[in-house]
Structure formats: structure tokens, C-alpha cells
Amino acid sequence: MAQHPIQVAARRSGLSTHVIRAWEKRYEAVQPDRSDTARRMYSDGEIARLTLLRRVTEAGWRIGDVAQMDDERLAQLLRDEGLSISRSASRATSVDASATLPQLLDSAVDTVARLDGTGLLQVASRAFTQHSLVAVMERFVQPLLDAVAERRHVGRMRACHEHFVGTQLRTALGRLLQDINDSSEGPVLLVTSHCGQHQEVGALAAAVVAARAGWSVMYPGAGLASEEIVFAADVSQARGVVLNLSGGSGAQDISAQLLRLREKLSDAVPIFVNGKAVPGHARALRQIGALMPQDLYALERDLEALRRARG
């Protein structure tokens, strides 16, 4: 029986290698053999199963709910949705299985233009299963929000398009956070944003990255007052706090909130701050000793280091 390394399994199934490893470790979706050098080796049947699982999750099911189903049951789910077993007839996912993030971004913008929620979630699912998580956050999620905002500014899209894409991305990221968090046994990390910071997608993106870094993420939502953040951190026994700053309140108001937060939060709890509005509050952030990773790649690296240090 033919055996293939994970790179071949990834190319043929349309999944990224990190997703295959995650589905194997967290959900035992497949159980590949190991070579003499401990490399994962996948049979043709396991690759076909991974492809089915990708198709089913793209159609809207959570991996945790379907990972233990047999192949026939997975195929039946697709047939029940009127989808071909070999390929989807969906207009939204009519991109190549090896589509780049810019290509997926273009497809996503098209789905937003026609207010196609199912299509957008399918494209987002394709992005997350084919590419690394942080790359999708940096090169798909935020650029999609920016593209829609720019089109609205020049009159090519409307306010409803901005609300629509924000709602759909919150749904996709919320599902992803729950999927990763369900199997986490790491220390607790609180992720949120301050009052006046209403761009929840940025906070959710940071929460997903934190969960991917091995933390058990407590996400109470966005736009919390300092006192509420302290309360949530105390109740959940959080070992750290991540705040997303994406705009909204004025610099003076944010600075005052940050000072109150640092004053009331235990000195043993570090504060990480990310988001495109960070440079405008750098002085206040330095004053409270906040850690300011320059992007989500750096945030993931810093959180992994803190988790290892604090266990």
C-alpha cells in the first residue's frame, strides 16, 4: 500500500500541514503510520479522508463534530447538502485547491459584494485549511476588512457591506477559536479590547492566535472597561492579558484606561497590546510596561515563550 509524507498529503487534500497535524493530535481524525525516522506517512485512503473532512468543514460543520465519523457518513453529509463527493458546485469555492491568499482574498471580496454569507465562510474556511493560521490573519482577514472599507470610501460598496463582512468574519473566527480552545489544557489568557474599541475581529484574531500558541483563551467579548477586564482576569485566574487596539476612543481616554488597568491588575500579569492603533498610544503603553509585538507572528512567538515559562 502506497505511503506518502505529510507534504504530499497536504497537496492532495488541500489542507495545510499544520491543520493536518492539529486534526490528528486534537481529534484523531486520521492515524498515519510512522517511518523508521518517525515521519508521518499517509495512505491513499487517509488522504481521501482528509479531503472529505476538508469538504465537510468548508460546508459549515465543525471539525470536532465530524472527526470521528466514518467516510461514508461524511460523504452522506455532503450528499445531504446537494454537494458532489468529488467537488463542490459552490460558486464561492470555485477556486483551485492550491489557491494563494491573494486569490482567496479576491474571491472573498466578490462574495461580500453579493452579500453571500455561505460563500464567504467557505472561502474563509479554505484559507484556514490551506494556509498557516497567522498568515491568514495577516494576509487575508485584515486585508479583507481594509478592501471593503476602501470600496465603501470610493462608493463601490455600502455600509451594509462593512457590517456584513464584520459579522461573517466574527462567526468564522468564533468557530475557529472554539475548535482550538476545546482541546486546550494550557494556562488561561484573557483576550479582549477596551471601551470604545468596537472592531471585534481584531480581538478575535488575537484570541485565535493565542489559542494556537497553547493558551486556554478566555474571551469575554470586546469593548470592556478596565474594571471589567480586571474582574474577568481575577475570576478566570488569567496568567496574562492581551488587548487589541484598532481605533475608536481618543488617545487621552485610552491612556487613562490603560493606566487604570495597570494599577488594578496584578503586577504578575503581563499585558500584551496589538492592533493597528498601537503606535498612536505607544507612550502610554510604554508607561505601563505593556509588551507590544509588532504583528501577529511576533505575538504568537511571545505568547509561546510566556506559556513555556509559566506552564
Distance CA 272, CA 71 (A): 43
Q: State yes or no: pLDDT of 250 exceeds 70.
A: no
How do the domains of the chain map onto residue ranges? 1-89, 91-183, 185-310
Where would I find the H helices in the chain? 6-13, 17-27, 44-58, 63-66, 71-80, 101-113, 117-130, 133-136, 142-153, 159-181, 200-212, 226-236, 251-264, 282-287, 296-310
- Residue 98's pLDDT is 67
- Write the pLDDT tens digit of every residue in 280-311: 889 999 999 999 999 999 999 999 999 988 76
- Residue 198's pLDDT is 65
- Residue 89's pLDDT is 37
Range 91-183 classified under CATH 1.20.58.100: no
Which CATH class, in words, describes the domain spanning 185-310? alpha beta
Contact (Cβ atoms closer than 8 angstroms) between residue 100 and residue 36: no
- Residue 130's pLDDT is 82
Q: State yes or no: pLDDT of 125 exceeds 70.
A: yes
Handedness of CA 56, 61, 67, 69 (dihedral sign): negative
- Write the pLDDT tens digit of every residue in 91-104: 334 455 568 999 99
- Residue 90's pLDDT is 39
- For 1-89, CATH gives 1.10.1660.10
Lowest mean pLDDT among 86-95, 106-115, 238-247: 86-95
- Write the pLDDT tens digit of every residue in 33-69: 998 888 899 998 999 999 899 888 887 788 989 999 9
Higher confidence at residue 255 or residue 165? Answer: 165
Q: What is the DSSP letter of 279?
A: G
Higher confidence at residue 81 or residue 84? Answer: 81
Q: State yes or no: pLDDT of 271 exceeds 80.
A: yes
- Residue 185's pLDDT is 79
Average pLDDT of the chain, as a whole number: 88
Distance CA 20, CA 46 (A): 11
